[in-house]
């Protein structure tokens, strides 16, 4: 027991004890950051009774910002590609440090961002935490499906186009028919408009869109022996390399009806010259009066 007490006292003297330990208690950063907006980084720490030496921020192990309360310049920036700190909107204290990054650009602003806190001599302890951030302009609007009719006959050709919203990187379009991915030979990428600058004022952002065409021969495979059947056509817009749990895919869905041509003929109604048989007799009186007059003459 005496030996254990000696070891505990030695560890307390050497390392400051469990209550005298620098800890980084919280770091917040986005997983996906839209370059059309500013990016906020936040770091909170507990010095455990020690004095703060510096808070350093890194991107991919390259230091881009330092807060040193005892230095001649509290805030110091270092040039790192894709990183610009707005010091007028950033604020650091002896237990927190919040940065506002502006003028983001893809792909240079993406990377591993680390907050590192260090204490003064003689301890010189370190605490750090890292977040991986992907900078991407996710489309703000779902895709649009054009060219679809409500009803088709068996043997006809379904032809539709899907246009994604604007994004960077360029969105990818995937077609689904009755919840099954459409075969590659039925899908064709069409030329789209040139990339266009964003309207928010960030000249580093060039937004792109995708246009895809779906071409399906509506043969008996879809109707079988049924005189008619419904078909669900869905267009999904996604961004490669981004988890759908973080940035859900956007989609547009249309339901159409496929009918056998004979069924359409059988469903046609017999019409009088100016009124339907299903219309009440009073609605056809003018027509009947003309026939009676002609035969009477």
The pLDDT tens digits of the residues spanning 119-134 come to 998 888 999 999 999 9
- Fold of the 2-135 domain: Immunoglobulin-like (2.60.40)
Q: How far is CA 72 from CA 53, 75, 90, 115, in A?
A: 13, 9, 18, 21
Give me the pLDDT at residue 70, please: 87
Structure-model confidence comparison of residues 231 and 240, the more confident one = 231
Cα–Cα distance, 221 to 232 (Å, whole number): 14
Alpha-carbon 42 to chain mean position: 23
The confidence band for 222, taking pLDDT boundaries of 50, 70 and 90, is: confident
Q: pTM, whole model, 2 decimals?
A: 0.73
Give the Cα separation of 295 and 297 in Å (integer).
5
Domain ranges of the chain: 2-135, 144-267
Q: What is the CATH number of domain 144-267?
A: 2.60.40.10
| Higher pLDDT among residues 270 and 252, named by residue | 252
Domains 2-135 and 144-267 share a fold: yes
Residue 256 φ then ψ, to 5°: -125, 165
Has residue 32 got a pLDDT over 80?
yes
Instruction: Name the range with the highest mean pLDDT among 20-24, 143-147, 202-206.
Output: 143-147
Q: Sorting pLDDT into bands at 50, 70 and 90, what band is 226? A: confident
CA distance 209 to 169: 9
């Amino acid at each position: 027991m005496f030996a254990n007490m000696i070891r505990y006292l030695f560890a307390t003297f050497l390392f400051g004890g469990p209550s005298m330990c620098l800890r980084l208690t919280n770091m917040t950063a986005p997983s996906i950051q839209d370059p059309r907006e500013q990016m906020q980084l936040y770091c909170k720490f507990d010095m455990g009774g020690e004095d703060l030496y510096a808070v350093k921020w890194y991107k991919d192990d390259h230091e881009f910002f330092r807060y040193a309360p005892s230095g001649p310049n509290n805030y110091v920036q270092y040039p790192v590609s894709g990183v610009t700190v707005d010091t007028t909107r950033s604020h650091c204290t002896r237990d927190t440090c919040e940065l506002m990054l502006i003028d983001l650009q893809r792909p240079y602003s993406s990377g591993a961002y680390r907050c590192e806190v260090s204490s003064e001599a003689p301890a010189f302890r370190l605490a750090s935490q890292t977040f991986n951030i992907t900078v991407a302009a996710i489309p703000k609007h779902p895709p649009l499906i054009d060219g679809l009719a409500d009803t088709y006959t068996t043997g006809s050709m379904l032809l539709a186009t899907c246009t994604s919203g604007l994004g960077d990187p360029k969105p990818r379009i995937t077609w689904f028919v009755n919840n099954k991915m459409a075969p590659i030979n039925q899908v064709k990428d069409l030329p789209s408009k040139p990339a266009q600058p964003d309207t928010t004022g960030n000249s580093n952002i060039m937004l792109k869109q995708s246009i895809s065409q779906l071409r399906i021969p509506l043969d008996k495979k879809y109707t079988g022996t049924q005189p008619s059947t419904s078909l669900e056509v869905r267009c999904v817009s996604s961004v490669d390399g981004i988890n759908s749990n973080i940035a859900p895919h956007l989609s547009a869905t249309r339901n159409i009806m496929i009918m056998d041509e004979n069924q359409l003929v059988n469903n046609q109604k017999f019409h009088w010259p100016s009124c339907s048989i299903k219309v009440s007799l009073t609605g056809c009186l003018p027509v009947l009066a003309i026939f009676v007059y002609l035969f009477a003459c």
